[in-house]
């Protein structure tokens, strides 16, 4: 245990940290991610059926379903419920579109205190900005490839 050199100290310390670290509960993690993620998709499917029943079709149907899910994600983030779900569900709450809504709303509320322009509006896109940048760029590339082929 008692290392004389500096590297030995580091190695011993890292080993010690490893023994004290709580083990990641892979199985439980994965099960809750699968369950919550699947449940959110089922809610999406339910909204889709309801809107279909109301007479929407095609792009309007798909778009409206996303809008309602995003609204729910924003609302639950506002009430602080979504973060609590996230602590339990991990990727199950990140990957669905409600997680995208959460990543927009959460900094918007949090950085409100730093002002409306540089705080709320600018910080709103910390994560969503990256998604939009890469999404638009890759979308344009796909469009160009399909146009020229």
Partner 1 sequence: MQAELLAIFLQYLKAFAVGGGICLIAQIIINFTDLTAGKILVYFMLAGVVLTALGLYQPLVEFAGAGATVPISGFGYLLANGAMKGAERGFFYAVTGSLTAASAGVTAAVVFAFIMALIFKSRTKRN
Q: Which of residues 25-54 bind partner 1 (CB under 8 A)?
A: 26, 29-30, 33-42, 44-49
| Touching partner 1, residues 85-124 (CB under 8 A) | 90-92, 94-97, 99-101, 103-105, 108-110, 112-113, 120, 124
When asked if residue 24 is in the footprint of partner 1 (CB under 8 A), the reply is yes
With 0-12 / 13-18 / 19 or more C-beta atoms within 10 angstroms meaning exposed / middle / buried, residue 90 is middle
When asked if residue 67 is in the footprint of partner 1 (CB under 8 A), the reply is yes
With 0-12 / 13-18 / 19 or more C-beta atoms within 10 angstroms meaning exposed / middle / buried, residue 69 is buried
CB of 3 to partner 1, least distance (A): 27
Residue among 3 and 133 whose Cβ is closer to partner 1 = 133
Part in contact with partner 1 (CB under 8 A); list of ranges 5-13, 14-22, 126-134: 126-134
Among residues 16, 50, 83, 115, which is the contact residue for partner 1, using CB under 8 A?
Answer: 83
Q: How far apart are CA 73 and CA 98, in angstroms?
A: 4
- Residue 117 gets which letter from DSSP? I
Q: How far apart are CA 39 and CA 46, in angstroms?
A: 10
Among residues 12, 15, 81, 136, which is the contact residue for partner 1, using CB under 8 A?
Answer: 136
Q: How far apart are CA 97 and CA 41, in angstroms?
A: 9
CB of 7 to partner 1, least distance (A): 24
CB of 10 to partner 1, least distance (A): 20
CB count, 10 Å around CB of 50?
13
């Amino acid at each position: 245990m008692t290392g004389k050199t500096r590297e030995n100290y580091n190695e011993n310390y890292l080993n010690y940290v490893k023994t004290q670290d709580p083990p990641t509960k892979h199985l439980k993690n994965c099960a809750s991610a699968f369950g919550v993620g699947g449940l959110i998709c089922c809610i999406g499917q339910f909204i889709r059926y309801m809107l279909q029943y109301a007479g929407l079709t095609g792009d309007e149907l798909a778009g409206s379903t996303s809008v309602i899910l995003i609204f729910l994600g924003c609302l639950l983030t506002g009430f602080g419920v979504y973060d609590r779900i996230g602590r339990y569900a991990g990727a199950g709450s990140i990957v669905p579109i409600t997680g995208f809504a959460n990543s927009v709303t959460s900094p918007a509320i949090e950085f409100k205190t730093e002002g409306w322009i540089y705080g709320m509006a600018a910080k709103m896109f910390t994560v969503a900005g990256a998604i939009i940048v890469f999404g638009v760029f890759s979308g344009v590339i796909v469009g160009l490839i399909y146009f020229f082929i």
